[in-house]
């Protein structure tokens, strides 16, 4: 493939050589350069590809894509200058892999909360309706029977296009993916048009030195999805939804409890059963149906509404939607694990104060005899998070079991001491059990009728990180082992 073919969708300047140069491969990591490849100079948080130009040319790169001037001694090298190499990489990657997103229908979900759950719900419903669906998100990428652990919620554009290619080759006709604000800001989702884009909600998050400089930038980046999709779906109950739609180029449908929403939730009921919690509600507007979803709280209604609105674009029947929602679950996201008919136990990824507070407040609505919260905090991370999570659990839970999470290079006892500093600001009762397996065993063996027990912080993770090494530890396996001995 020639350089001109790879760069046909964006402006570029040929600084040296020719855009008729043949390209054998596209590379953006200097360690992976091959003979005859095109190397894209990406400016990252820790390294700048422009600093490795001479090195990659010596390794065999024949074409270099830059966004700032570089001194290149080899005058036979083709040099292409663009305004933004990340933006260019998205289009170059799409062309290199044969524009696979033109074959797929790609669904993009953005928002502060609900992205992961909604992607799995959509995948579940569409597959029960006969589609073959790939997934890209915070936990993993799923391509057919292959599960690839995720490094980023939205991977680099080259990796994303590679996944799309593999999905098409595996027979997928739809991809549902999480679209992070970072991914939008760094142009990872450029180079194609989303069939459907959806906005779940927005709250203060991902603001800091290595993410967004302020809330305004965070909101703006989220809004970019609606300039890159054909059809948009937004939660009109969110205070920011009108600003999210500024400059949108898609048609729009709305979800919410608001009476003017295209997909309205009405008559919401909290439901309980033997070892599970959930919600039941009616949908009116563009759809008229009654659904039951075994995931608790108001935010679960929003997740289900989002999935229903998306699947309506694909002509999924009411019966298929109702059946799929009733059986759906998402690993590590309010994941109900049956251990007893007498009390309810769940696993959730809540690993900061905001997420834990939202979860515990939701569960208190079910009026449990006791709300028991088991959690720890990660090592080599903010002490403030530990204080805040301790205070939240002490205030909202009836009983807290403080334990270890991923201690990394800190002593678990030191992390627990910080959590206790937060819990001391409340009247909350607690016990500390350093070993997480022992803590989970204690929680189950001391479960009382009517309890709701939350194992928070680990969620989908199946390991524990200690002193630079990841040890296998899946809470589901631990629970199964405990039940065998009871």
pLDDT, tens digit, 9 for 90 and up, residues 39-95? 999 988 788 999 999 999 999 999 999 999 998 889 899 999 999 999 999 999 999
What is the token pair recorded at 110? 């953005």
**Residue 148 pLDDT exceeds 50:** yes
Q: How far apart are CA 57 and CA 39, in angstroms?
A: 9
| 461 and 477 assigned to the same domain | yes
Out of 307, 327, 347, pick the residue that ends a domain. Answer: 327
> According to the model, what pLDDT value does residue 60 have?
96
Strands 38-40 and 63-66: parallel
| 256 and 114 assigned to the same domain | yes
Domain of 291 in residue numbering reads as 100-327
Q: How far apart are CA 149 and CA 92, in angstroms?
A: 25
Sheet holding 78-81, edge to edge: 13-16, 78-81, 63-66, 38-40, 26-27
Residue carrying structure tokens 């992390």: 415
> According to the model, what pLDDT value does residue 140 have?
95
Element (H, E) at 302: helix 298-313
**Residue 160 pLDDT exceeds 50:** yes
| 195 and 139 assigned to the same domain | yes
> According to the model, what pLDDT value does residue 251 have?
98
pLDDT over 70, % of the chain: 98
| 315 and 349 assigned to the same domain | no
| 302 and 382 assigned to the same domain | no
CATH number for the domain spanning 7: value is 3.40.1390.10
| 105 and 202 assigned to the same domain | yes
| 90 and 166 assigned to the same domain | no
DSSP state of 426: S
CATH number for the domain spanning 220: value is 3.40.1190.10
Between the alpha carbon of residue 214 and those of residues 114, 208, 217, 220, 221, the distances in Å are: 21, 8, 6, 10, 11
Out of 271, 304, 327, pick the residue that ends a domain. Answer: 327
User: Which distant-in-sequence residues (6+ apart) come within 8 Å of 71 by Cβ?
Assistant: none
CB atoms within 10 A of CB 21: 18
What is the token pair recorded at 360? 């515990």
Residue carrying structure tokens 């360690």: 31
What is the token pair recorded at 350? 């809540």
Question: Residues 411, 412, 417, 419: is their CA dihedral positive or negative?
Answer: positive
pLDDT digits (tens, 9 = 90+) for 205-226: 545 555 666 788 889 999 999 9
| 218 and 352 assigned to the same domain | no
Listing DSSP states for 309-327 in one string gives HHHHHTT--HHHHHHHHHH
User: How many separate domains does the chain show?
Assistant: 3
pTM recorded for the entire structure? 0.92
| 368 and 294 assigned to the same domain | no
Q: Name the burial class of residue 209, with classes exposed (0-12), middle (13-18) and buried (19+) by CB atoms within 10 angstroms of its CB.
A: exposed
What is the residue-averaged pLDDT of the chain? 95
Out of 327, 343, 378, pick the residue that ends a domain. Answer: 327
Residues 394-410 have a mean pLDDT of 97
Q: How far apart are CA 92 and CA 95, in angstroms?
A: 5
Q: How far apart are CA 463 and CA 471, in angstroms?
A: 5
> According to the model, what pLDDT value does residue 207 have?
52
By the 8 A CB rule, do 198 and 236 touch? Answer: no
pLDDT digits (tens, 9 = 90+) for 19-31: 999 999 999 999 9
User: Which distant-in-sequence residues (6+ apart) come within 8 Å of 145 by Cβ?
Assistant: none
Residues 138-145 have a mean pLDDT of 95
Sheet holding 371-375, edge to edge: 335-336, 344-348, 452-456, 371-375, 399-402, 429-432
| 231 and 126 assigned to the same domain | yes
Where residue 248 falls among pLDDT bands split at 50, 70, 90? Answer: very high
> According to the model, what pLDDT value does residue 206 have?
47
What is the token pair recorded at 16? 């040296």
| 310 and 355 assigned to the same domain | no
* 3-class DSSP string for 52-87: HHHHHHHHCCCEEEECCCCCCCCCCCEEEECCCHHH
CATH number for the domain spanning 343: value is 3.90.190.20
| 221 and 127 assigned to the same domain | yes
Buried b (16+ CB within 10 A) or exposed e, 400-413: bbbbbbbbbebebe
> According to the model, what pLDDT value does residue 44 have?
84
């Amino acid at each position: 493939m020639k350089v001109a073919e790879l760069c046909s969708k964006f402006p570029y300047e040929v600084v040296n050589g020719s855009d008729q140069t043949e390209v054998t491969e596209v590379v953006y990591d200097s360690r992976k350069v091959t003979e005859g490849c095109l190397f894209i100079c990406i400016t990252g948080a820790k390294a700048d590809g422009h600093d490795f130009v001479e090195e990659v040319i010596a390794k065999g790169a024949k074409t270099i894509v830059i966004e700032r001037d570089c001194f290149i001694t080899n005058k036979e090298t083709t040099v292409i200058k663009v305004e933004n190499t990340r933006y260019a990489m998205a289009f170059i990657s799409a062309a290199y892999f044969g524009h696979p997103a033109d074959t797929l229908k790609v669904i993009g979900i953005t928002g502060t909360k609900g992205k992961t759950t909604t992607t799995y719900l959509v995948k579940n419903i569409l597959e029960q309706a006969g589609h073959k669906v790939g997934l890209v998100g915070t936990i993993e990428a799923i391509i057919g029977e292959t599960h690839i652990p995720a490094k980023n919620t939205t991977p680099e554009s080259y990796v994303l296009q590679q996944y799309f290619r593999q999905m098409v080759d595996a027979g997928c006709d739809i991809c549902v993916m999480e679209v992070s604000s970072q991914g939008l800001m760094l142009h990872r989702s450029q180079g194609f048009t989303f069939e459907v884009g959806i906005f779940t909600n927005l709250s203060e998050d991902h603001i800091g030195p290595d993410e967004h400089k302020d809330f305004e930038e965070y909101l703006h980046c989220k809004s970019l999805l609606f300039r890159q999709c054909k059809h948009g779906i937004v939660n009109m109950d969110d205070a920011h939804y009108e600003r999210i739609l500024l400059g949108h180029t898609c048609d729009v449908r709305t979800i919410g409890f608001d009476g003017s929403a295209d997909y309205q939730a009405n008559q919401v009921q909290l439901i309980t059963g033997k070892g599970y919690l959930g919600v039941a509600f009616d949908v009116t507007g563009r759809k008229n149906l009654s659904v039951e979803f075994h995931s608790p709280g108001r935010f679960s209604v929003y997740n289900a509404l989002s999935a229903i609105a998306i699947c309506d674009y694909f002509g999924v029947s009411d019966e298929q939607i109702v059946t799929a929602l009733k059986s759906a679950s998402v690993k590590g996201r309010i994941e109900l694990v049956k251990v007893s008919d007498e009390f309810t136990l769940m696993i959730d990824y809540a690993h900061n104060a905001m997420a834990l507070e939202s979860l515990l407040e939701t569960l208190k609505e079910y009026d449990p005899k006791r709300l028991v919260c088991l959690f720890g905090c990660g090592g080599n991370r903010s002490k403030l998070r530990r204080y805040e999570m301790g205070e939240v659990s002490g205030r909202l839970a009836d009983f807290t079991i403080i334990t270890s999470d991923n201690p990394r290079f800190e002593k678990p006892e030191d992390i627990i001491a910080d959590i206790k500093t937060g819990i001391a600001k409340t009247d909350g009762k607690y016990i500390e059990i350093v070993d997480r397996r022992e803590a989970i065993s204690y929680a189950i063996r001391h479960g009382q009728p009517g309890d709701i027990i939350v194992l928070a912080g680990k969620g989908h993770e199946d390991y524990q990180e200690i002193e630079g090494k990841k040890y296998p530890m899946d809470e589901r396996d631990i629970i199964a082992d405990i039940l065998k001995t009871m």
